[in-house]
Every structure is written in structure tokens, then in C-alpha cells.
Amino acid sequence: MANMISVNINVDKKIKDEATTILKGLGLNMSTFINMALTQVVKRNGVPFEVANPTPSKEMLEALKELNEMIDNPDKYPRYNNREDLKKALLSDD
């Protein structure tokens, strides 16, 4: 540990606070986590997690479109007050 140095980084306060809370729940502090992450960068010769812009699937986009249609036009879709009414509607032949 004689070769330890300090590193200063700029981080959004909200992100830092949320990460600190999560790490604390895992029994870690920020310094330990950063050391773990950097060690993995060296061992893997790259970033130790996927870095990507998640793209929603075609099915997800269709589901979101359908949801927005239902939100924008609530009178076109039946509403149920309880599970029994919903169950009856699902099991009916209509």
C-alpha cells in the first residue's frame, strides 16, 4: 500500500450520493469500489462491464405505442373494478 496516490474526479452530486448509499449497503466505500473497478480494468484489459446505449426491442416499442394509445383514448378500452369482472371478461366468448 506504499504506492497509493490520491485521484480527484468530478462527479454529479446526485449520482455520487446514490452510489454511496448503494455501496454502503454492500459494505463498501467509494474508495474501495474505485480500486476494485480499476483493478478489473487492468485484469480484463478493458472496461469490466458493458458500455452501451440500450436500444428497445421492436416488441417493446410496439408495447409502448399500444400503451400510449390506451392512455390517450381511455374510453376505447374497458375498465374493470375488480379481478372477478376482469376474469369474466377474459373468459367470455365475446
Domain boundaries, the chain: 13-44, 58-91
Q: How many other C-beta atoms can be found within 10 angstroms of the C-beta atom of residue 86?
A: 13
pTM of the model: 0.54
pLDDT the model gives residue 1: 60
Q: What is the mean pLDDT of residues 35-41?
A: 96
Mean pLDDT of the chain: 93
pLDDT tens digits, residue range 46-65? 999 988 888 999 999 999 99
> With pLDDT > 70 as the criterion, what percentage of the chain qualifies?
98
**Contact, 49 vs 56, CB < 8 A?**
no
Residue type at position 42: V
DSSP assigned state of 74: G
Q: How far apart are CA 21 and CA 24, in angstroms?
A: 5
Residue 35 has pLDDT above 90, yes or no: yes
Q: CB of 39 within 8 A of CB of 48? A: no
What letters, b where the CB count within 10 A reaches 16 and e where it falls short, cover 28-62? beeeeeeeeeeeeeeeeeeeeeeeeeeeeeeeeee
